[in-house]
Amino acid sequence: TADPEGRVCIPTVGQYTAAGQTLGELRERLRRVLGRSYAGLLTNPPSSFMDLTLRRLQAVQVFVTGAVARPGGYTIPSGTSVFNVLYLVGGPTLDGSLRRLRVVRNGQTVAVGDAYDYLLEGRDARPVRLQNGDRVFVPPRSTTVAVEGAVRRPAFYEMREADEDVAALLDFAGGLLADAYVERFQVERIVPFTERRDPSIAREVRDLPLIDVLRGTRDGTLSRRQKRVHSQICGSLMGPSGRRSPK
């Protein structure tokens, strides 16, 4: 039986920490540990056998802070994921991040979750099982991009600044519609105060060749400030003005 700290006491072997492991991982590691005292567990075929059974999940208390709808302490089943807890507290606020969900354990950040893996692809790429006393912190969202035009899911998207570009943004938006005009797209950007040559001009608009960005022959990295991306589209035979191009 595991104690509140996730440790099990095994006769002739001693104490072993089971917390943070799946049942399969724990079974294999215990087999190796017990094999030091019971060599038959490690022979092929084995002459001794062990059994490990999960009878019930112990409740743990975690604390959710930051930009969430209902911050506070919550008692949850052991092994609950970050996304389960995020659902429990009503999700992040409008200003909260979905890309940088931090799990803090004993004063150290042990994992950073990304809800886009779950929301857009239905998978948890970096699963983290919460333990007693963990804190889940939702920081303010960072770089935000609005996508408009001929995409399947026009909306606001949060970007990781280090490794995501226009191609990644279009994947988030579900890709281009079949009749999208791919010769160019527009990036509307709010110019930071320190970069404004004219204090009265707060925005700038750039036209870029979308097809070159998709082919990888042109850099599709977005600037670090908040942006609005508008794919200047109408149809495969339409130009940026919305008029049909001559055949």
Q: What pLDDT does residue 90 have?
A: 94
Q: What pLDDT does residue 222 have?
A: 67
Helix (H) or strand (E) holding 116: helix 115-121
The Cα 192–Cα 190 span in angstroms is: 6
Q: What pLDDT does residue 162 have?
A: 62
Neighbours of 139 (CB within 10 A): 17
Inter-residue contact 190 to 184 (CB < 8 Å): no
Neighbours of 213 (CB within 10 A): 20
Sign of CA dihedral 165, 168, 172, 176: positive
Q: What pLDDT does residue 63 have?
A: 97
Q: Which residues of the chain have pLDDT under 70?
A: 1, 4, 125, 161-163, 220, 222-247
Q: What pLDDT does residue 223 have?
A: 58
Task: Look at residue 102 and give its three-state secondary structure.
Answer: strand
Q: What pLDDT does residue 93 have?
A: 95
240: which DSSP letter?
Answer: T
Q: What pLDDT does residue 30 have?
A: 87
- The 10s digit of each residue's pLDDT in 121-132 is 887 767 778 888
Q: Which of 105, 112, 110, 102 is nearest to 138 (CA)?
A: 102
Q: What pLDDT does residue 237 have?
A: 31
Q: What pLDDT does residue 104 have?
A: 96
Q: What pLDDT does residue 109 have?
A: 94
The Cα 72–Cα 47 span in angstroms is: 51
Inter-residue contact 92 to 86 (CB < 8 Å): yes
